[in-house]
Amino acid sequence: MPKKVVIVGGVAGGASTAARLRRMDEDIEIIMLEKGKHISFANCGLPYHIGEVIKEREKLLVQTPQSMEERFDIDVRIQHEAVKINREAKVVEIKDLQSGEVYQESYDKLVLSPGAEPIKPPLPGLDLPEVFTLRNIPDTDKIKNFVDEKKPSRAVVVGGGFIGLEMAENLHERGIEVSVVEMMDQLMGSLDYEMAAMLHNHLRTKGIDLHLGDGITAVEEADGRKIVKLQSGRTVKTDLVILSIGVNPRTELAEEAGLEIGSSKGIKVNEYLQTSDPSIYAIGDAIEVKDLVTDRSVRIPLAGPANKQGRIAADNICGRKETYKGTQGTSIAKAFDLTIASTGVSEKTLKDLKWDYQVVHTNSNNHAGYYPGAVPMMIKLIFAPDNGRILGAQIAGYDGVDKRIDVLATAVRQEMDIYDLQELELAYAPPFGSAKDPVNMAGFAAGNILNGLVEPAYWQELENIDPEQTVILDIREEVETQLGSIDNSINIPLNDLRDNLDQLDPQKEYIVYCAIGLRGYIAARILNQNGFSKVRNLSGGYKLYKAVKD
Amino acid sequence: MPKKVVIVGGVAGGASTAARLRRMDEDIEIIMLEKGKHISFANCGLPYHIGEVIKEREKLLVQTPQSMEERFDIDVRIQHEAVKINREAKVVEIKDLQSGEVYQESYDKLVLSPGAEPIKPPLPGLDLPEVFTLRNIPDTDKIKNFVDEKKPSRAVVVGGGFIGLEMAENLHERGIEVSVVEMMDQLMGSLDYEMAAMLHNHLRTKGIDLHLGDGITAVEEADGRKIVKLQSGRTVKTDLVILSIGVNPRTELAEEAGLEIGSSKGIKVNEYLQTSDPSIYAIGDAIEVKDLVTDRSVRIPLAGPANKQGRIAADNICGRKETYKGTQGTSIAKAFDLTIASTGVSEKTLKDLKWDYQVVHTNSNNHAGYYPGAVPMMIKLIFAPDNGRILGAQIAGYDGVDKRIDVLATAVRQEMDIYDLQELELAYAPPFGSAKDPVNMAGFAAGNILNGLVEPAYWQELENIDPEQTVILDIREEVETQLGSIDNSINIPLNDLRDNLDQLDPQKEYIVYCAIGLRGYIAARILNQNGFSKVRNLSGGYKLYKAVKD
Ligand SMILES: Cc1cc2nc3c(=O)[nH]c(=O)nc-3n(C[C@H](O)[C@H](O)[C@H](O)COP(=O)(O)OP(=O)(O)OC[C@H]3O[C@@H](n4cnc5c(N)ncnc54)[C@H](O)[C@@H]3O)c2cc1C
Ligand SMILES: Cc1cc2nc3c(=O)[nH]c(=O)nc-3n(C[C@H](O)[C@H](O)[C@H](O)COP(=O)(O)OP(=O)(O)OC[C@H]3O[C@@H](n4cnc5c(N)ncnc54)[C@H](O)[C@@H]3O)c2cc1C
Ligand SMILES: CC(C)(COP(=O)(O)OP(=O)(O)OC[C@H]1O[C@@H](n2cnc3c(N)ncnc32)[C@H](O)[C@@H]1OP(=O)(O)O)[C@@H](O)C(=O)NCCC(=O)NCCS
Ligand SMILES: CC(C)(COP(=O)(O)OP(=O)(O)OC[C@H]1O[C@@H](n2cnc3c(N)ncnc32)[C@H](O)[C@@H]1OP(=O)(O)O)[C@@H](O)C(=O)NCCC(=O)NCCS
């Protein structure tokens, strides 16, 4: 059993390690170093404090140095920065940032949880005082004070990941007109394009101005305002800029000490979360982890993994062998009324990796349609064509999205397949779900594809249809077509299909579509069994197609 | 491939079978017999229509005979009752309930989904027109008309299962004073007593009058009102009575045909859902199924299983072998603001079966405490002491209960253990969860018990404490004790514990408690490691204890 553990970083990973260590062992000397003024704060709540959703600043401070000392007998040293590790001597060099004094502290085990740094590219104007990044309490104070005092009317958020989204929403809530600039052609890179398209549309209806596929090149000043210049040549006037284009792991300390750095630039650790020096553990945003599905080395800077890794590192330090098996990137974000979530691998990653995969989109209500307040969600399920293993899932919707992504995250982690989804016995009463839950439904639809009952078509294919060869068959009710339809499609409502088969040429190819894919599937089954051999059902139906086109 | 399938029963199981059959095969002749006037209605929505939460009656009719005919080419015959099965001839005798005519219909395969019948014991007065049961649309119409027209001011609901609860709430919403009479000492038999206690307290605060551990003996008339007489001798005045004391499977048809009936009195089926006659399938409330955890034969009359069994029966009929693996009794009910849910086996069942099991209660917020609207839920996790397999879970709380029970239902079905729960990577952002989700937390707390880090004590044990031997140690803050405390407990706040160990006798036994069990665990760890060898932490803390005592 070690006698003395030093922890670098006092927030998600670091504080979790400290607390668990103490519960495991009353006698270890535990020193927790934090270069900032706060420990154990709610990083994830910061945007919501700026938006005044979380009104009291103190709520962000989950623990204080005093409370950690009282409860856990931890020697908490804020404004103390670990500046060097001497591995041979097992000593950390520490700088007291208030006094400037540098001193040494020995360790039996060292835990690194230094987190990550917001990326700030070397572009002109990014050092202006109106350009902010958000990582900690001082950052939050700065942005909030700026908003409170300067009452800006326009903001540009650069980077459309979840922090960017949350900032866009929270600044909007403060009455600010917000533009989001994103280099990729979509927001929320963990989603595939068509799922992100629903998010884009929702943000636009809320009045958020999107600049997709466009990067920032500079921030300039003019007439007391800032001008954000974009690669496209466009410019956006603004009063403040939030940079949220991602984070870099804080690896300097580890690198200087000669610890191994992985291919994804995070600190390399083994399954016990030990670095290349077995006396030094590393956790959180600073490390690279194994992607649970693809086995690749990736960085997944999220709080759930950081907290759990802290607990596992503490256990290992105390001699209770625990392994960290990997991360699956489960994430969720609220964007105004919409919720978007994902787990596992995306289609675009699988495409890059040249893996075989199969996709289905289903659209189900969060609960029984006859019970008031039912709202739809679109689920994208990605699975292996050979054995049906679930590789990833993405959902866009409202209430109940978080529930389904958690069930699917469990499925990904347990290496479940789509047939397992069909069998899940989930809790059903009208206010909560349906006798066939959306997750069951996704399993059914996926199973029908794997079993060869129906072949799917995808929105991407509709670009290059040769009308001589392929008929786009709209089987919605006539009244539904008034909401728009796919170009060059012909309409035969599903219930009339059996009686109108003679109007259709069985030699041709068919892409059948309805609103979401359910009736399209029924139509495809009817056609299949009546001598039409080349029929496919548009996955996600007109709803998904329209989301992409809008 | 069969040419002709006859289905008995046109609602959850029957209509699901019919729809899937048609999707599998365009050519089968499908006849669906329904003795009532409606098919495919939302049984589960009926209480909410009476409560006018679901305003439009048509919403309850998910499909009509016409829509089933148009879309699925099903020969739907309402008010046609199957009265006899001639298995040798493969013929069903059918009575047209309008004309009285009896005729025969041959089948290649027969599917029985006749459902269940509300239990109506042979007690005096239960035939009075003011005594109702609720199973279908006519029942609903009768109750709703009675409420609309007679404007009753008092109602007695007999039976405290989920239908009873839903009726209590919905009648209350109509401005009626409601009493619930239940023979057991608790409502919702799928829960254990302490979890049901939270429900009892919640209902009482809503003004529902509970008579637990008391049965009805008769309904009498007096002064234009009804008098419900109870075994205890008490009487309750009322204007209407809802009988919801459970259902009996409708097995007459099967029994008369000589089909095997199981030990639990449901129709016996194999894993393909075939009865003892392989040409006859049976599904839904009428059958007995395997309890997925205990392997016992049980009846679980719920819509999810019925619908899924319908689909599986259809597949098997069409030659696609699919098995039904069993039911785990996942259920959920809204009771005013409270949600209660369970999956897997209860502690009382395991006790009856003399299985070894271990229990932990945890109490976590549905989402990050610093984000507005966080509300607590109490989770009871029941697991195997040898390998940690999850045997059952129960939750009482508000928002987010449905999510956690679904994750735990997935865990039960996949035979996951408590260590798997610790590792689950669930979606976290402040509006949706916590970095350590309540499900992870239950896994941690369970793991600590199995690993010997802490020993739990339970509320039941506090009855017979010998103060000479056992100290009840309250480690809450002094201010918290003003909300009440356990008799004969002494108070040393957790943060003062390390400094006051000398006041405690290490020879004695200790039961430590805090509000919910979290700090009690920390206190137990401190004591354990300071020479106190007989320390236990009260599972669920004072909150659970108080719920039971209230
Ligand atoms: C605005 C925002 C919103 C977020 N929202 C979510 C969300 O909704 N869901 C989610 O899962 N995740 C979210 N995250 C990510 C999550 O907060 C991080 O993944 C998590 O905090 C990482 O934990 P960590 O311990 O690795 O790093 P941190 O929590 O950042 O802690 C690292 C600490 O180490 C200190 N430190 C660094 N170097 C040294 C040194 N040499 N000496 C002393 N101290 C040092 C730093 O000052 C810092 O306080 C969000 C992050 C931010 C910034
Ligand atoms: C008020 C209420 C609320 C409920 N709430 C929920 C809930 O929230 N969650 C949940 O999971 N479950 C709930 N249920 C249970 C669920 O509705 C049943 O489990 C499900 O409907 C069972 O399906 P089934 O096909 O076996 O029977 P049913 O759906 O009852 O269908 C059987 C049909 O067969 C017909 N029939 C019977 N015998 C014959 C015959 N000889 N010839 C012709 N027709 C015949 C009957 O008239 C009946 O319409 C609720 C039930 C009720 C009554
Ligand atoms: C708060 C913080 C210091 C962690 O402290 P912690 O004590 O490990 O976490 P909690 O207070 O949630 O307590 C969890 C412990 O209580 C136990 N527990 C919880 N409920 C219990 C109950 N009812 N009965 C018994 N034990 C219980 C758990 O098992 C766990 O103990 P273990 O790890 O030894 O198994 C750390 O998470 C932190 O700094 N958080 C803020 C920063 C952050 O996470 N940011 C990112 C997200 S915004
Ligand atoms: C409505 C009822 C007739 C069932 O009809 P159903 O057609 O099987 O069910 P749904 O309309 O939900 O459609 C499900 C089918 O659509 C498919 N599907 C759903 N969404 C899809 C999509 N987006 N793309 C492709 N296929 C999709 C599913 O795979 C499934 O088909 P499968 O079973 O062949 O795999 C029956 O459930 C019923 O009578 N319900 C009311 C009674 C009841 O259940 N009561 C108890 C609860 S209140």
Residue pLDDT, tens place only, A18-29? 999 999 999 999
Which residues from B are below 8 Å from A71, CB to CB?
494-495, 522
Model confidence at A318, pLDDT cuts 50, 70, 90, reads very high
- Please indicate if any CB of chain A lies within 8 Å of the CB of B183: no
For range B80-107, the mean pLDDT: 98
Q: Best mutation site among B11, B48, B250 for ligand 2, i.e. most ligand atoms within 8 A of its Cβ?
A: B11
For range B475-491, the mean pLDDT: 96
Q: Give the C-alpha separation, B102 to B94, whole Å.
A: 5
Q: What is the ipTM of this complex?
A: 0.98
pLDDT in tens, A478-523: 999 998 999 999 999 999 999 999 999 999 999 999 999 999 999 9
pLDDT for residue A321: 95
pLDDT for residue A87: 98
pLDDT for residue B177: 98
For range B147-164, the mean pLDDT: 98
**From ligand 4's centre to the CA of B17, what distance in Å?**
10
- B305, closest residue in chain A (CA to CA): A425
- Please indicate if any CB of chain A lies within 8 Å of the CB of B450: no
pLDDT for residue B195: 98
Which residues from A are below 8 Å from B426, CB to CB?
304, 330, 406, 409-410
**From ligand 4's centre to the CA of A23, what distance in Å?**
50
Which residues from B are below 8 Å from A113, CB to CB?
none
For range B235-253, the mean pLDDT: 98
pLDDT for residue A463: 87
Please tell me the residue having the least CA distance from ligand 4 atom 11. A518
Q: Give the C-alpha separation, A136 to A79, whole Å.
A: 14
pLDDT surpassing 90 at residue B61 = yes
- Alpha carbon distances (Å) from B368 to A54, A183, B268, B408, B434: 11, 32, 47, 20, 5
> By CB neighbour count within 10 A (0-12 exposed, 13-18 middle, 19+ buried), where does A262 fall?
middle
pLDDT for residue B259: 98
pLDDT in tens, A78-136: 999 999 999 999 999 999 999 999 999 999 999 999 999 999 999 999 999 999 999 99
Q: What are phi and psi of A242, to 5 degrees?
A: -105, 125
H or E element in which residue A12 lies = helix A12-24
pLDDT in tens, A378-395: 999 999 999 999 999 999
pLDDT for residue A142: 98
Give percent above pLDDT 70 in chain A. 100
User: Nearest by CB to A372, which of B12, B53, B320?
Assistant: B53
Model confidence at B498, pLDDT cuts 50, 70, 90, reads very high
pLDDT surpassing 90 at residue B493 = yes
Model confidence at A206, pLDDT cuts 50, 70, 90, reads very high
- B444, closest residue in chain A (CA to CA): A311
pLDDT for residue B168: 98
Q: Which of B78, B85, B57 is nearest to B10 (CA)?
A: B78
Write the secondary structure of B109-154 as one string of H (helix), E (strand) and C (coil). EEEECCCEEECCCCCCCCCCCCEECCCCHHHHHHHHHHHHHHCCCE
pLDDT in tens, B302-361: 999 999 999 999 999 999 999 999 999 999 999 999 999 999 999 999 999 999 999 999
- B49, closest residue in chain A (CA to CA): A371
pLDDT surpassing 90 at residue A464 = no
Q: From the CB of A300, is ligand 1 less than 6 Å away? A: no
Q: Give the C-alpha separation, A17 to A8, whole Å.
A: 10
| Residue A301 burial (CB count, 10 A) | 18
Which residue type occupies A123?
Answer: L
**From ligand 4's centre to the CA of A444, what distance in Å?**
9
pLDDT surpassing 90 at residue B111 = yes
Which residue type occupies B457?
Answer: A
Q: Best mutation site among A6, A7, A8, A11 for ligand 1, i.e. most ligand atoms within 8 A of its Cβ?
A: A11
pLDDT for residue A326: 97
For range A236-244, the mean pLDDT: 98
How is B400-451 classified by DSSP, letter by letter?
THHHHHHHHHHHHHTT-BHHHHHH------TTT--SS-HHHHHHHHHHHHHT
pLDDT surpassing 90 at residue B463 = no
For range B243-256, the mean pLDDT: 98
For range B476-494, the mean pLDDT: 96
- Please indicate if any CB of chain B lies within 8 Å of the CB of A12: yes
> By CB neighbour count within 10 A (0-12 exposed, 13-18 middle, 19+ buried), where does A398 fall?
middle
Q: Which of A25, A24, A22, A30 is nearest to A6 (CA)?
A: A30
How many residues are listed for chain B in this entry? 550
**From ligand 4's centre to the CA of B62, what distance in Å?**
11
pLDDT for residue A421: 98
Q: Give the C-alpha separation, A130 to A178, whole Å.
A: 15
B109 Cβ partners below 8 Å, 6+ apart? B2, B4, B5, B6, B279, B280, B281, B317
pLDDT for residue B485: 97
Chain-chain contact of A403 with B406 (C-beta, under 8 angstroms): yes
Give percent above pLDDT 90 in chain B. 99
Give percent above pLDDT 70 in chain B. 100
The mean pLDDT of chain A is: 97
Residue B434 and residue A455 in contact, taking contact as beta carbons nearer than 8 Å: no
* Helices within A224-302 (DSSP H only): 252-256
Q: Best mutation site among B419, B423, B440, B444 for ligand 3, i.e. most ligand atoms within 8 A of its Cβ?
A: B444
pTM of the predicted protein model? 0.98
How many residues are listed for chain A in this entry? 550
The mean pLDDT of chain B is: 97
Touching B: A residues 333-392, CB under 8 Å: 333-334, 339, 341, 343, 368-372
Q: In chain A, what is the straight-line distance between the N-terminal and C-terminal CA atoms, in Å?
A: 61
pLDDT in tens, A174-191: 999 999 999 999 999 999
pLDDT for residue A1: 79
Q: What is the distance, to the nearest Å, from the Cα of residue B335 to the centroid of all Cα atoms in its chain?
A: 12
- A28, closest residue in chain B (CA to CA): B529
pLDDT for residue A331: 97
Write the secondary structure of B312-329 as one string of H (helix), E (strand) and C (coil). HHHHHHCCCCCCCCCECC
pLDDT for residue A302: 98
- Please indicate if any CB of chain B lies within 8 Å of the CB of A162: yes
| Residue B388 burial (CB count, 10 A) | 21
Which residues from B are below 8 Å from A407, CB to CB?
406-407, 410
pLDDT for residue B25: 97
Atom number in ligand 4 closest to CA B311? 33
Q: Which of A209, A171, A165 is nearest to A189 (CA)?
A: A165
Residue A206 and residue A198 in contact, taking contact as beta carbons nearer than 8 Å: no
Q: From the CB of B134, is ligand 2 less than 6 Å away? A: yes
Please tell me the residue having the least CA distance from ligand 2 atom 8. A429
Residue A301 and residue A152 in contact, taking contact as beta carbons nearer than 8 Å: no
pLDDT surpassing 90 at residue B162 = yes
For range B88-107, the mean pLDDT: 98
Residue B72 and residue B80 in contact, taking contact as beta carbons nearer than 8 Å: no
pLDDT for residue A388: 98
Chain-chain contact of B162 with A429 (C-beta, under 8 angstroms): yes
Which residues from B are below 8 Å from A328, CB to CB?
425
Q: What are phi and psi of A236, to 5 degrees?
A: -130, 120
- Please indicate if any CB of chain A lies within 8 Å of the CB of B526: yes
> By CB neighbour count within 10 A (0-12 exposed, 13-18 middle, 19+ buried), where does B124 fall?
exposed
- Please indicate if any CB of chain A lies within 8 Å of the CB of B57: no
> By CB neighbour count within 10 A (0-12 exposed, 13-18 middle, 19+ buried), where does B207 fall?
exposed
Which residues from B are below 8 Å from A372, CB to CB?
53-54
pLDDT surpassing 90 at residue B1 = no
For range A247-252, the mean pLDDT: 98
- Please indicate if any CB of chain A lies within 8 Å of the CB of B485: no
Q: Give the C-alpha separation, A419 to A449, whole Å.
A: 12
